[in-house]
Amino acid sequence: MGRYRYLFSPLRIGPVTVRNRVIFSAHLTNYAEDGLATEQHAAYYEARAAGGAGLIITEEHSTHPTDWPYEKLIHGFHRKVIPGYRRITDAVHRHGTPIFAQINHNGGQASSMYSRLPVWAPSAVPDPLFREVPKAVTVREIAEIVAGYALVAGHCREGGFDGVELQCSHSSIVRGFLSGATNLRRDQYGGSLANRARILIEIVRAVREAIGPGLALGVRLCGDELIEGGTTIDEAVEVAKMVEATGQVDYINTSIGVATATLYVIEASMHVPPGYALFIPNAIRRAVSIPVVGVGRFKDALQAERALAEGHCDLVGAVRAQIADPDFVRKAQAGAHEDTRLCLSCNQECVGRMGLNRWLGCIENPRTGREALVPAVPSRSPVPKKVLVVGAGPAGMQAAISAASHGHEVTVYERDDEVGGQVRWAASVPNRAELGDVLRNQQRELVAHGVKLCLGHGVDAGFVTAQKPDVVIVATGAAPARPYWAPGDASTIVDVLDVLTGSAWPPAGARVVIVDELGFHQATSVAEVLADRGCSVEILTNGMVVAQDLGITLDMENFLTRAAAKSIILTTDSVVMGWNGTHLSVLHHVSNTMHELATDWVVLAVAPRAADELYFELLAQGVTVHRVGDCVAPRRIHAAVIEGDRIGAAL
């Protein structure tokens, strides 16, 4: 048992017994095709079951044709879904893991885009994201909704699920009914809390009838919507009590926020302190006696154990932790913490890709979402090669890991004294340290695969050819570039990396303009560092929004809040046209007006250039050479990792 007293102890959830307390809680994957579950789903869930998850809850299954908020939704209301369900449940059951289905109607938090039917909601209150006025449902339609839940629950039972979870939290018509912000009805479904909860209780009854006593039934509730007039914790506790009082529900799952208004608290990024949402299960667990699930940025087994020990919850949902490492539970149980590929809470490839309508992946685990295609254990190459990798950024390290795991003999040369390339600096700012875990994870795997790592060892073409490697992989990353208007010798025009490495030091009190053409963490991070130092900082972007891509990773809202608190000025639609030593000439391109902006320092967050000299030199000498990551084209970590991963298999 060791240091885990609770995490690995079994628990009964109604008729189902789980072997440990870690749940792979519900989340969209965009793996569905034509409204049906796919092989991709089955393999994805199976990997987590094999990895030791105590319980898996699938992504939501839609209960009604009026509910189609995004393209790749599973249409649970068609009988056609059952074979796909079977495929998933069989795969998961092979590992002795129970699996529940989440069922849902998203209500007003949708658009009619896909369904071409009016969106249904308790009242005609438009959703803040979709901004579509929904149809206030009639009592007859409410009955239809309830029947839809029961129908889908029946499909789930037939499909071999061990239980059903009603998503009534951050994106759901039930949430819509429960919330004072969206339920303005004056009939028996609106007004008092008991009325607002009526539909939920009706659904519980109908679903229990459909699934019988042999399956577990859970309800996921939102503890604080964080919107004006929305559900707060006191109401959530009352609802939880009503749910328990039905005597038909086996557990309560929790969540926070509203998916279409405050998603950044649901799938919180690394800026949000771990354990931030525990007050919700805490309050609910004090009021009910059925098991309660706590969710939100559990990325470490010990942290989960502590939450259980302090009684904040009986089970923990760990979603991204297991997206990043399907074997999260197994490794923790075996005490092999070091081997865990810790989730970074970067939200780039999981949440980020959902927003972009793409299938779910992970920035540091190229196999996520491709479990059905890529074997868990790589095949060894019949002809081991001597591989030389230049550069130990994420690309170089992943290439080395991949090559070594395919049986090649690999040496990595890195110019710096530490691995990590640009990421090391990207992670060195307040609240971004977790990004650096990707390096730790990779470095650990390098060691495990016996890769030789030579730090503080910059190499040139001569050195490389002298080693006589069979293959060279160049991963030399990117180098800062300067726009035409910035003279090369201007010492107060510097790159973000110069600020982070400390080679440039705008002092407290200095006026700093950060020119942002990247729209990601580069500019915002440096802005915060400098504002903290006491500089007065302005971010200037040619885009319509500063740091647009932070929206995708759900970092935008909290950045804006912090920026406001730190008096960072955000200026959009502005292009720098020149610099005279003290002023920048700025074109406001929307109004086509120019103005001068006085500044002491200019920090550039502009497109870097690929550091590809070594690659072309080696190519010219006829060496077998490949390149990966930013030295192909400067992008982000996911690209570095994916390319690194591919090359190893292709040697």
Partner 1 sequence: MPDFEVVVVGAGPAGSIAALSLARLGHSVCLLERGPFPGSKNVYGGVIYGRILDELIPHWWEHAPVQRWITRRGTMLLTDHQSLCIDYRSTAWAQAPYNGATAYRPDFDKWLADEAVKAGATLVSSTTATGLVRTNRGLVGGVKTDREGDLMANVVIACDGVNSFLAKEAGLYPNFSKDHLTLGVKEVLALPRQEIEARFGIRSGTNEGADLEIVGGTQGIAGGGFVYTNLDTISIGAVLSLGGLSASKVRPEEVIAGLKAHPSLAPLVDGAELKEYSAHLIPEGGFDAMPEVVGDGLLVAGDAAGLCLAAGLWLEGVNYAIGSGKCAADAVHEAIAKGNFSKAGLVSYKDRLEATFVLRNHRKTRKAAHLLLSDRLQNRYPQIACDLLEQLYTVEDPLPKRGALTIGRALWKGSGLRIRHALRDGRDALKIYG
Partner 2 sequence: MIAVIVVREGQLPAGAAECVAEAGGRAIVIGTEVHSVELSGALTLVEAGPFGPAAYAALLAGRLVDEPVILPASPDGRDLAPRLAALLGWPLLAPALAVGVHSVQVVRQNGRILEEVAVDGPFVATLLPGVRGVGAADSMARDSEPVVARESQPMAAPGREPMAVRGSDARGPSAATPNDPELIALLPPDPSTMSLVEATRIVAGGQGLGSTVRFEQLGRIGAALGASLGGTRVASDAGWIPFERQIGTTGVAVNPRVYLAFAISGATQHTSGLGDPAHIIAVNTDASCPMMAMADIAIVSDAKAVLDALERQLSA
Partner 3 sequence: MKIAACIKWVALRPDIDPLSGSVETDDRFSGVSAADQAAVEWALRMGEAWGASVTVATVGASIAESALRDALACGATTAIRIDIEHPLPSAAVGRELAAALADADLIVCGDWSLDRGSGSVPPFLAHARGAEQACGLVALSLDATGVVRAERRLDGGRRERLIVRAPAVLAVEGSTARLRRAPLGGVLSSARSSIDVRTPSTPNPAEPVRLVHARPFRPRTKIVDGPHGSVRDRSNALLGMGSTRTPPQRLVLDPEVAAEHILAALHAWGEIDDPASAEGQ
Contact residues for ligand FMN, defined by CB under 6 A: 25-28, 59-60, 102, 167, 220, 255, 266-267, 295-298, 317-321, 350-351, 354, 360
Q: What is the length of the chain?
A: 651
Residue 196 engages partner 3 in binding (rule: CB under 8 A)? no
Query: Which one of 26, 217, 219, 272 is in contact with partner 3 (CB under 8 A)?
Result: 272
Query: Which one of 188, 467, 501, 582 is in contact with partner 2 (CB under 8 A)?
Result: 501
Closer by beta carbon to ligand FMN, 558 or else 572: 558
In the region spanning residues 536 to 595, those forming contacts with ligand SF4, defined by CB under 6 A, are: none
Q: Which H or E element spans position 195?
A: helix 193-196
| Minimum distance, C-beta of residue 257 to ligand FAD, in the bound complex (Å) | 23
β-bridge pairing 593-598 and 583-588: antiparallel
Residue 220 engages partner 3 in binding (rule: CB under 8 A)? no
The position carrying tokens 């000498």 is 621
Q: Which H or E element spans position 233?
A: helix 233-245
Interface residue list for ligand FAD (CB under 6 A): 337-338, 348, 390-396, 413-416, 421-423, 425-426, 435, 440, 458-459, 475-478, 496-497, 500, 520-522, 525, 611, 614, 629-631, 635-637, 640
Alpha-carbon distance of 335 to 340, in angstroms, equals: 10
The 299-318 site mask, x for binding partner 2 (CB under 8 A), equals: -x-xx--x----x-------
Who's near 358: CB < 8 A, 6+ residues apart? 30
Residue 94 engages partner 1 in binding (rule: CB under 8 A)? yes
Number of helices and strands (H, E) in the chain?
22, 27
The 317-346 site mask, x for binding ligand SF4 (CB under 6 A), equals: ---x--xx------------------xxxx
Query: Which one of 95, 385, 444, 583 is in contact with partner 1 (CB under 8 A)?
Result: 95
Query: Which one of 133, 193, 227, 374 is in contact with partner 3 (CB under 8 A)?
Result: 227
Which of the ranges 7-15, 358-366, 425-433, 496-504 carries the binding residues for ligand SF4, by CB under 6 A? 358-366
Which structure tokens are listed for 370? 């491709």
Partner whose binding site includes residue 27, from ligand FMN, ligand SF4, partner 3, none (CB under 5 to 8 Å by kind)? ligand FMN
Sheet holding 574-579, edge to edge: 574-579, 583-588, 593-598
Query: Which one of 136, 193, 233, 372 is in contact with partner 3 (CB under 8 A)?
Result: 233
Closer by beta carbon to partner 2, 303 or else 571: 303
Query: Which one of 40, 62, 89, 97 is in contact with partner 1 (CB under 8 A)?
Result: 97
In the region spanning residues 341 to 360, those forming contacts with partner 2, defined by CB under 8 A, are: 342
Alpha-carbon distance of 648 to 630, in angstroms, equals: 17
Q: What is the total count of residues that contact ligand SF4 (CB under 6 A)?
A: 14
Alpha-carbon distance of 302 to 280, in angstroms, equals: 20
Alpha-carbon distance of 541 to 534, in angstroms, equals: 22
| Minimum distance, C-beta of residue 48 to ligand FMN, in the bound complex (Å) | 12
Residue 459 engages ligand SF4 in binding (rule: CB under 6 A)? no
Closer by beta carbon to partner 2, 467 or else 501: 501
Question: What are the start-end ranges of the E strands in 137-232?
Answer: 163-168, 216-222
Partner whose binding site includes residue 94, from partner 3, partner 2, partner 1, none (CB under 5 to 8 Å by kind)? partner 1
* R_g (Cα) of the chain, nearest Å: 26
| Minimum distance, C-beta of residue 648 to partner 2, in the bound complex (Å) | 27
Alpha-carbon distance of 390 to 396, in angstroms, equals: 7
Alpha-carbon distance of 311 to 309, in angstroms, equals: 5
Who's near 308: CB < 8 A, 6+ residues apart? 6, 7, 21, 314, 315, 316
Indicate if the alpha-carbon torsion angle 619, 621, 622, 625 is positive or negative. negative
Are 361 and 343 in contact by the 8 Å Cβ rule? The answer is no
**Which residue type occupies 574?**
S
Residue 350 engages ligand SF4 in binding (rule: CB under 6 A)? yes
DSSP type of residue 63: -
Long-range contacts of 597-600 (CB under 8 A, 24+ apart): 597/513, 597/538, 597/540, 598/511, 599/511, 599/512, 599/513, 599/538, 600/492, 600/506, 600/510, 600/511, 600/512
Positions touching ligand SF4 (CB under 6 A) are: 320, 323-324, 343-350, 362-364
Residues of this chain that bind partner 2 (CB under 8 A): 5, 274, 300, 302-303, 306, 311, 337, 342, 425, 427-434, 436-437, 440, 500-502, 529
Q: Which residues bind partner 1 (CB under 8 A)?
A: 19, 94-97
